[in-house]
Structure 1
């Protein structure tokens, strides 16, 4: 090499050659002298144009579009048209009607392939009133909405996402349970949605809407949910449908007689509310969720003037004087009292047709979401039977889990006596309600309106010093372990003792207030304002960051 001459450089170029086993690189040498880097695009000129890439992508994108379209066509135009001919919403239309417009993001669109579009289960996330929710809808136009392997995985994934992301889960049910052909495939151990649903209890709100017949595994979603709505004339729940019932026990019965709204909204209590059609059911779900936080780490949403609620301030409840007769033997409708006391048009009754002698409802009080448990004197004088106690106990547990203050309005002659009631398990049912209300760690606001006897007072949170935020009575209430006249006769007391017992019962709330069994006796016209003051009294506690409720021990 000559001194001071140019330095020769060996340029190495790697040539990529495909092979059956992978990619081979070979080295090609060049002896050309090169004083600097090889020519190429400079940093200032930007990346090289991607000419040809779009053309290469197009077949893949076309395939994706075709597969998505086939999946979203559900059972095909003919089946969807037949299904919709009766004015009913199909699965995808139900999801759209439930969620805020344009908010749905689908999960598992391509599950099930060409044979079972979306595997008969439309699933994903969206928003209701701007808040995230998860939703799954069984698609009856695809193999009767039955659950195939992919749908089973989607259901479990959806439920786990709801817990993981701390958002409510809504399931729209109309399906035949597990698909019969699943038995022809190899069984694999995998998590299922029922396990996940159980874990969601008290963590995020869960709702099931029964839009058509729902059997087997799918039907079990309903009793594992916090709130169940059934569509009248269409929704039905059963462990097995009419054909299997006929084959198993020889009973021939139609779907609605086996498990329609008359069965589960009235007799069994498995479902909570009935709705006239699909759209009414979905509106009810949106309203139900409006009273609840998205999860147990949040407080319930406030609805003040900015949210369309103009009735949030104090006011006299003068109408209560007309609604509630002082004579405890005269019935009246508690619904009218609730509509008068709570914020205008805010009362949503839960499970109205089951255990009707006790009303359970959501309402707003000064814009705050609250739960209400009230005796209904228009039904059995407000006597608490096993159905009413069971309904109220479950309701109180759900409301406590999601941090709603509970208002108890007591007006009952006790729990129901008699052979029918005893055989129905009134003792255990009323003990369960007593334990559930005792365990509440939210503000408890109690008012005795006219009467409360025996265990009927205890289950309505009247016992003194049971963590009530307020405990009031209206003037003229009658109290006691049992009605005085009946108790005296049962104990064979003499006339003088009987008269003394009756006089004591007739003394109203004064003796109880004297010993602080009640915080105070209030004017019926002060009822709303007294409850508002109770919420204000608990304001510091309800401002603390909430957490899920933990339980020790078990209910009776």
Structure 2
């Protein structure tokens, strides 16, 4: 008796047919397909997919699962990528999809390579019930184990709802496209049914909301190409894993670099009350003026992002006087804290540029938990083991002086510009406490002038960097023109700073 022969399957033809179906489906919505996104992210021809037809059901018209997974290279560096396919069952997640994603993250950890998630999904597959839901738990666990060891970058390129939102929320960076990306735990229909509130999809979980209000997202992309380009840019500053050597790019100072560094002092007004854009200061100090800002639209009184100094990547934290005078509030504290923790997890030195009048006062901040949430930035700086260099450019008062990378909290080197104001509080507040009797004793018509004279005297005697230098809280006074060279020299001196490399990783980079 002869064994029946199975008809050979032309998987190449099946794949081509599935790709055409996906293009018609996605392009009609103004979106790329799952595999087109991978092609944009990875170097040409480098992506090797795992299990293309795993989970497929040809009889039902599905030639594979709703997610593509595999490894490729970005800028020549190996990376892991998974991309949800909305053209297959709405990109929903079931047992097969969960297994593929979990396996990919675990393999990325084993190989010590960054992991990219390209998300576009209708959520858990209802037909599979709790079995599908449970896969989210396994993905969460895998992501938690990877956190702090390998960089994880999520791109939201379509809907991301329900429990699925917590997967990108636990990664290091979340990028959303302006038009098509949405993230929410419960959609508008559920909100309306439960609370009676009428709210649009964009107002509830759109990209602009998450970039400017909630702080969930780190970059607002104009389109998918912009999102992927930003993701590639982030990777340029991050290592393969926490134990990997930091990147070092060839760098030769250009005349423009020299001119910018020499003119940095002209950017900041002498009047401590006058605003300026600290991003211009950062761009004047870093290589070629290239600064990749993170969370640009949220907690605007603080600026964070990546740059290079003499070809070596660094993280930059800076107060932004253009918004609330650069004060620290609950959101700015959390923004700075998570970024410092991220830099510390992946071995990036932290450069802190300080121009801060203090914490934002008021009952609203106290009720919002400024004590609890403000402590997070203290925890981040206080536990950091990477090289940390701080420059006070104009002023630094009170508790904000301590938490913004002071030597007391762990900075390796701290400097100030000659006219920097460093004190427990500003002159006006100080004389109102120290000299209130003298002011009250003056004739009423002279009290304003007396208070101003006392404030000027207090400023001349107490609000300057000299006392901090004499007590060892500052390593020196630097002229603005020498700031870049001073930072570069300090970084060179700290290149061999010892960190405990005996552990699997330094710490997780969970949301703070």
User: By the TM > 0.5 criterion, same fold?
Assistant: yes
Residues 1:534 and 2:490 aligned together: yes
TM-aligned CA deviation for residue 547 of structure 1: 5.8
Residues 1:275 and 2:221 aligned together: yes
Alignment of 1:93-242 (within 5 A): 93-114=36-57, 115=60, 116-183=62-129, 192-242=138-188
TM-aligned CA deviation for residue 248 of structure 1: 4.0
Partner of 1:525: 481
Partner of 2:234: 288
Which has more radius of gyration?
1
SS in 2 for 1:240: coil
Q: TM-score, normalised by structure 1?
A: 0.82
Do the aligned partners of residues 363 and 129 (structure 1) sit closer, same or farther apart at CA in structure 2, a change above 3 Å counting? same
> Could you list the per-position Cα deviations for residues 212-249 of structure 1 after superposition, in whole angstroms to 9, with x for gaps in the alignment?
11112332222111000000011110113333434444
Distance 2:31 2:130 in 1: 33
TM-aligned CA deviation for residue 81 of structure 1: 1.4
Distance 2:143 2:330 in 1: 27
Q: 1:453 aligns with which of 382, 391, 397?
A: 397
TM-aligned CA deviation for residue 477 of structure 1: 1.1
Residues 1:467 and 2:428 aligned together: no
Distance 1:357 1:240 in 2: 30
Partner of 1:265: 211
> Could you list the per-position Cα deviations for residues 126-170 of structure 1 after superposition, in whole angstroms to 9, with x for gaps in the alignment?
011111111111111111111121101111111111111111110
Do the aligned partners of residues 187 and 339 (structure 1) sit closer, same or farther apart at CA in structure 2, a change above 3 Å counting? closer
> Could you list the per-position Cα deviations for residues 397-439 of structure 1 after superposition, in whole angstroms to 9, with x for gaps in the alignment?
0100000000010001001110121122222222110111111
Partner of 1:379: 323
After alignment, is 495-504 or 82-91 more displaced?
495-504
SS in 1 for 2:82: strand
Do the aligned partners of residues 173 and 455 (structure 1) sit closer, same or farther apart at CA in structure 2, a change above 3 Å counting? same
Asked if structure 1 preserves the Cα contact closer than 8 Å seen for 2:243 and 2:505, the reply is no
Partner of 2:382: 438
Q: 2:339 aligns with which of 383, 395, 399?
A: 395
TM-aligned CA deviation for residue 396 of structure 1: 0.5
Unaligned runs of 5+ in 2: 440-449
Corresponding pairs, count: 494
Q: TM-score, normalised by structure 2?
A: 0.89
SS in 2 for 1:449: strand
SS in 1 for 2:149: coil
Structural RMSD (CA): 3.0
Partner of 1:361: 305
Distance 1:412 1:530 in 2: 21
Which one has a larger percent helix, Structure 1 or Structure 2?
Answer: 2
Residues 1:513 and 2:469 aligned together: yes
Partner of 1:90: 33
Partner of 2:447: none
Asked if structure 1 preserves the Cα contact closer than 8 Å seen for 2:95 and 2:131, the reply is no
Unaligned runs of 5+ in 1: 1-17, 21-55
After alignment, is 273-282 or 76-85 more displaced?
76-85
TM-aligned CA deviation for residue 506 of structure 1: 3.3
> Could you list the per-position Cα deviations for residues 479-502 of structure 1 after superposition, in whole angstroms to 9, with x for gaps in the alignment?
221213223325663338976665
TM-aligned CA deviation for residue 456 of structure 1: 1.1
SS in 2 for 1:369: strand
Do the aligned partners of residues 174 and 551 (structure 1) sit closer, same or farther apart at CA in structure 2, a change above 3 Å counting? closer
Do the aligned partners of residues 302 and 208 (structure 1) sit closer, same or farther apart at CA in structure 2, a change above 3 Å counting? same
TM-aligned CA deviation for residue 190 of structure 1: 9.8
SS in 2 for 1:541: coil
Distance 2:119 2:136 in 1: 22
